[in-house]
Homo-oligomer: A and B are copies of this chain.
Amino acid sequence: MLYPQDQRYVLTSPTAMPQAGGFLWNRRMMIQTTCRGYATAQFMQPEPGKYSHAPNLEAKSFMQPEQNYYAHHPGRFVYVKDEDTGELFSAPYEPVRGGLDRFEFSVGRVDLHWTIEKLGIRIDLTLALPVDDVAELWTVNVTNLSDRPRRISIYPYFTVGYMSWMNQSAEYRHDLGAIVAFGITPYQKLDDYFKNRLLKDRTVLLCEHAPDAWETAQGAFEGEGGLHAPSALSSESLLCGDARYETPAAVVQYRLALAPGNAIKRRFLFGPAFDDAEIASLRQRYLSEEGFAAAARDYAAYIAEGDGVLQIATPDRELDNFVNTWLARQVYYHGDVNRLSTDPQTRNYLQDNMGMVFVKPAVARAAFLHALSQQEANGAMPDGILLFEGAELKYINQIPHTDHCVWLPVCLQAYLDETGDAAILDVPVTTHDGAVKSAFDRICLAMDWLLQRRDARGLSYIEQGDWCDPMNMVGYKGRGVSVWLTVAAAYALKLWTDVCAARGDAAMQARYQDGAAAMNAAANTHLWDGDWFARGITDDDVKFGVAADTEGRIYLNPQSWSFLSGAADDAQRARMLPEIDAQLTTPYGVQMFAPPYSAMREDIGRVTQKHPGSAENGAVYNHAAVFYIFSLYTIGEADRAFDALRKMIPGPDLADYLQRGQLPVFIPNYYRGAFKEYPRTAGRSSQLFNTGTVAWVYRCLIEGLCGLKGDANGLTIAPQLPSDWSGMTVTRRFRGATFEVAITRGTGDRVTVTCDGIALAAARIDNIEAGRTYHVRVGLAATPPTRSSAG
C-alpha cells in the first residue's frame, strides 16, 4: 500500500489514506496536493492569494489543519473517456472515483507523480514547479496498454472556482492558447483600490497543444450529471462555451487515436497571471519539452540548496529515509518562504530561521537581525515580524503574548554553535524609532524585559498568552502567571549568561545568572506540585495543571523546560519522568497535556476550546513534544528521547500509517491525542506541514542523537544512540568541512574518538579546515549512559 522508492514515497491506494499527499513550493508559491487530486495552492502578491478557488466566497485564514475535502474542493483532474464505449474514469481518482486497475501516487522531493490504469489506458500525471514563477507545470501522458487501436478523449479539468462576487468570466483565447478566467478582487476603500489593481486577477490554463474543444463554465460542464459524471462529457465534443459571471472552470478536450502501446504527451501550465503579456511570456518560457526540462533542472538545483548538513545510516531505515530525504527539505521550506506569510509570528520566524541555520546560515543571520530591528524601545519583541514595507500584523498577531523575547537567545544559540559567528552580536541594529544598538545590547534589553515582567513572587506574567494560542484567559487581568514562561525565561537567561561569559562581560553574566536562578527558585517555591510542575496560576489565584485537576492535570511544557532551565533537579526529574510516561506518552507521541478538557474552563480559556484530541487540547502537539525530546537529550535520556522522536514519523507498520493517514514526507504540526478518550481518531495527522517542530527535530538529531554540535571552537562529539542500537554512521557538514562519522557501541566504559585514525584526547575536533573531509570513529561506552550520568 505504501513503499519508499529511492527518494520517493509511493501510495498505491487512493482510499486507504484519502487525505495523504505531498507539497511543493518555490520562492513565490506553495501547493499541497492529496493523492486523490485535491489541491490547496497559495502564492504571494505580496499577501497570500489564490488562483484556484473554493466554490464559494472563502474566508482568508491561516492554513488550516485537517482540511475538509468535498466534491468541489479545488483540484486538478483528468477525465478519460473511451469514445467507443462511452466508459469514463478520472485520474488521479476524484471526481469519478471508483475502482482503478492500478493507482500509484508518488511523492518526490521535486515533483508529484501519479500513474493510473483503467480500461487498458494508462495516465501518467506529473506536477512540477519552476523556481521563480507562480505556475504549476503539468505533464499528462496517455498510453494505450491494450492490444487494439483506441479512440479516447482526455479532459484535463482544473478548477477555477468562485473568483469574485464582483466580476468573473472565462473564455478560451486562441491567440494565447489558453483558457483565461478573469475575476476582480472586490474592493471598496480607496486605499485598497490602489493595492488591488496590481493583483494577478487572471487564472490561466496554458496548453502546449491547442485542444480540440473546451468548456469554461463550471455549470455548463457539470450539467445534471454532476462532477462524478459531467453532462458535457456525454457529447462527442465539449461545447466551447464562455463563462459570463458564472463560476469559471478550465476544461480542455483532446480527442486521441492511439495505436496499441502508443503514448501521447500533453503539457499544461496552470496559475495566475496579471495580463495577456504575462500569459504569453509564460507560454514562451515553459510550454515546450525543453521549457519543462529546464524548469525541472533549475528546480532540482533550488531544492538541493536545502540539503542541510546531515545524512545518517542507522538500524532504522525509515528514519534514515525521512531524515536524509525529507527533513531538511521541510526545514528549508520554512526558512525559505516563512510559511507564505508576510507577518510571521515572532516566535515562528525565529525558530524557522533557527532551522535555516543548518541550511542557509546567511539567511538565518539576516533574519535574526531583521527581527531585532523591530524590537520595541522597552525591549519587548512584537507579536509578528513584518517582512516588507506595508505589511500589517493580522488578527492573530494583534493579541499580546509574553514569550517572544525568550526565543532570541534560544534560537541564536543554534546559530552561534553552528557558525561560530560571534560577530553577529556586535552588528548595530536600528529600530523604527532610529535608535541604534548592537544585537548583543538588544538581546540584553529583551532579557531585562523578561526579568521585569514578573510578579512579586518572581513568576512571569502570562497576560493573554505565552506561546502560540493555548490560553488567553489565565492572566488577562494582569495577575495570572505562567510556569512555562518562568522556566523558559530562566532557560533563555541561562543561555544568555553563557554568551555574556564568552564575551567576558562579567557584570551581565552575573545579572542573568542571578535572574535565571531566581526564576528557577520561584518556580520551585510556588509551582512544584509534588510530582511535576504546575502550568500556571490564574488571575484569581487558581493553580492549574496540578494533581488535583481532573482535566488538564499535567502539562508537558513546564516539565521539559524545567529540565532545560535546571529548575528540576535529579530527584525531581526522577519523579517527573514516570508521570510523563504514564499520563502523557501515547503510541503517537507525547501529549501536550492530559487529560483533555471536555468542556470550557472559563478561567483559562482558549486551550479548553480546542477540539479534544487535536491542536492544543490534549493533542500530540509536535512542537511541544520536540522540546521534551530536546530537553531529554540535554539530560541524557537517550531512550526516552528517541522513543518520542521516532513517533513523529509514521510507521513502521501499516496500521500506523492508516491511523495517521499520512505519508512520512513531513512532520505535521500535530497528531490527534486524547488517546484514552477518543481512540478512534487518536494519532490522526493534521496534514499541516507548517510547524516550528522541524527545526527542533533537526537540532535534536544533530545535537542529541548524533551528538555533533558545534561550539565557539569546533565540533563536539557526544552521540546518544538508543540503547538497542549497535551503531550508526553520519555524514555531517560543518563549517565547510565534511565529517564522515562511524559510531559503534563499544566495550569500554567511556566514549572514544578517533579522527582520521588518530585517537583524540577529548571528544571534539577543533581548528576545522573548510573543504576537508574528516573520518571520525566514535566508540560509545558499552552501556548507554543512565539518566543521571548526563543530567
Binding site for B on A (CB under 8 A): 15, 54-61, 64-66, 68, 70-73, 97, 162, 165-169, 184, 187-190, 193, 197, 218, 224, 226-228, 244-247, 395-396, 398-399, 464, 469, 472-473, 476, 600, 605-606, 609-615, 617, 672, 678, 680-681
- The residues of B that contact A614 with a CB separation of less than 8 Å are 245
Query: With A244-B611, A395-B188, A610-B166 known to touch, is A68 a contact of B56 (CB < 8 Å)?
Result: yes
CB distance from A229 to the nearest CB of B (A): 9
Contact B245 A97 (CB under 8 A): no
Given known A59-B57, A245-B681, A472-B188, contact A611–B168 (CB-CB < 8 A): yes
Q: Is the CB of B611 within 8 A of A399?
A: no
Q: Bound state CA distance, A168 and B68, in angstroms?
A: 12
Q: Are A472 and B244 in contact (CB under 8 A)?
A: no
Q: Is the CB of A244 within 8 A of B680?
A: yes
The smallest C-beta distance from A383 to any residue of chain B, in angstroms, reads 11
State the oligomeric state as a number of copies.
2
User: Nearest Cβ distance between residue A171 and chain B, in whole angstroms?
Assistant: 12
Structural contact, A469 and B59, CB atoms closer than 8 A: no
Kindly list chain B residues whose C-beta atoms are within 8 Å of the C-beta of A184: 609
CA distance A224 to B189 in the complex (A): 45
Is the pair A605, B245 in contact by a Cβ cutoff of 8 Å?
A: no
Contact A71:B188 (CB < 8 A) given known A58-B58, A245-B66, A605-B193: no
A274 to B169, CA, bound (A): 42
**Nearest-neighbor residue (CB-CB) of A19 within chain B:** B219
Q: Take A59-B58, A71-B227 as given contacts and tell me if A64 and B193 are in contact as well, using a CB distance cutoff of 8 Å.
A: no
A395: chain B residues within 8 A (beta carbon): 188-189
CB distance A672 to B245 under 8 Å?
Answer: yes
B226:A97 contact, CB within 8 angstroms: yes
Knowing A57-B61, A59-B59, A395-B188, the reply to whether A68 touches B245 (Cβ < 8 A) is no
- A247 and B68 within 8 A (CB): yes
Among B58, B65, B97, the residue within 8 A (CB) of A56 is B58
What's the nearest-Cβ distance from chain B to residue A47, in Å?
15
Q: Which of A56, A60, A188, A610 has the most CB of B within 10 A?
A: A56
Chain B residues contacting A73 (CB-CB under 8 Å) are 55-56
CB pair A70–B71 under 8 Å, yes or no, is yes
User: How many angstroms from the CA of A672 to the CA of B56 in the assembled complex?
Assistant: 20
State whether A245 touches B472 (Cβ < 8 A).
no
Q: Give the distance to chain B from A354, nearest Cβ to Cβ, in Å.
A: 25
Q: Which of B72, B97, B193, B469 contacts A71 (CB 8 A)?
A: B72
Instruction: Give min CB distance, A341 to chain B, whole Å.
Output: 16
Contacts of A678 in B (CB 8 A): 244
Whether B228 pairs with A226 at a CB distance below 8 angstroms is yes
A606–B164 alpha-carbon span in the complex (Å): 14
Chain B residues within 8 Å of A605, by CB: 193
Give Cα A494–Cα B476 distance, bound, in whole angstroms.
Answer: 57
Q: Can you report 25 residue pairs joining A to B where beta carbons are below 8 Å apart?
A: A54-B56, A56-B58, A56-B70, A57-B58, A58-B58, A61-B165, A68-B247, A71-B226, A72-B72, A166-B609, A167-B610, A169-B611, A169-B612, A187-B609, A188-B395, A188-B396, A188-B469, A188-B472, A189-B399, A190-B476, A193-B473, A226-B228, A244-B681, A245-B672, A246-B681
Q: Which of B167, B246, B472 contacts A609 (CB 8 A)?
A: B167
B611 A245 Cβ-Cβ under 8 A: yes
Nearest Cβ on chain B to A676's Cβ, whole angstroms: 13
How far is the CB of A276 from the nearest CB of chain B, in Å?
A: 12
Indicate if the CB atoms of B473 and A245 lie closer than 8 Å: no
B71→A244 contact, CB < 8 A: no
Residues in chain B near residue A613, CB distance under 8 A: 244-245
In the complex the two chains form, is A224's CB within 8 Å of B15's CB?
Answer: yes
Residue of B with least CB distance to A95: B226
- Complex interface: chain B residues within 8 A of A197 (CB): 600
**Contacts of A396 on B, CB cut-off 8 Å?**
188
With A56-B70, A71-B226 given, name 17 new contacts (CB 8 A): A55-B68, A57-B61, A61-B165, A70-B71, A70-B72, A97-B226, A167-B617, A188-B398, A188-B399, A188-B606, A190-B476, A193-B605, A244-B611, A244-B612, A244-B613, A244-B680, A246-B681
For the complex, what is the distance from the CA of A294 to the CA of B403, rounded to whole Å? 58
Tell me whether B55 and A70 are in contact (CB under 8 A).
yes
- Provide the residues of chain B in CB contact with A398, threshold 8 Å: 188-189
Look across to chain B and name the residue whose beta carbon is closest to the beta carbon of A682.
B244
Residue of B nearest to A617 (CB): B167
Q: What B residues does A167 contact at CB under 8 A?
A: 609-611, 617
Please name all residues of chain B whose beta carbon is closer than 8 Å to the beta carbon of A244 when the two chains form the complex.
611-613, 678, 680-681
Q: Which chain B residue shows the least CB distance to A99? A: B224
In the assembled complex, the Cα of A209 lies from the Cα of B681 at a distance in Å of: 31
**What chain B residues lie within 8 Å of A72 (beta carbons)?**
70-72
Bound together, the chains give a CA A218 to CA B615 distance in angstroms of 21
- A96 and chain B: residue at smallest CB distance: B226
> How many whole Å from A20's CB to the nearest CB in chain B?
15
A74 vs chain B, min Cβ distance (A): 10
- Tell me which residues across on chain B come within 8 A of A612, comparing CB atoms: 169, 244-245
CB of A230, distance to nearest CB on chain B (Å): 12
Q: Which residues of B contact A188 (CB under 8 A)?
A: 395-396, 398-399, 469, 472, 606
Which residues in B have their C-beta under 8 angstroms from that of A680?
A: 244
Complex Cα distance, B246 from A680, in Å, reads 12
The residues of B that contact A70 with a CB separation of less than 8 Å are 55-56, 71-72
In order of increasing CB-CB distance, the 4 nearest A-B pairs are A245-B611, A71-B71, A55-B70, A70-B72
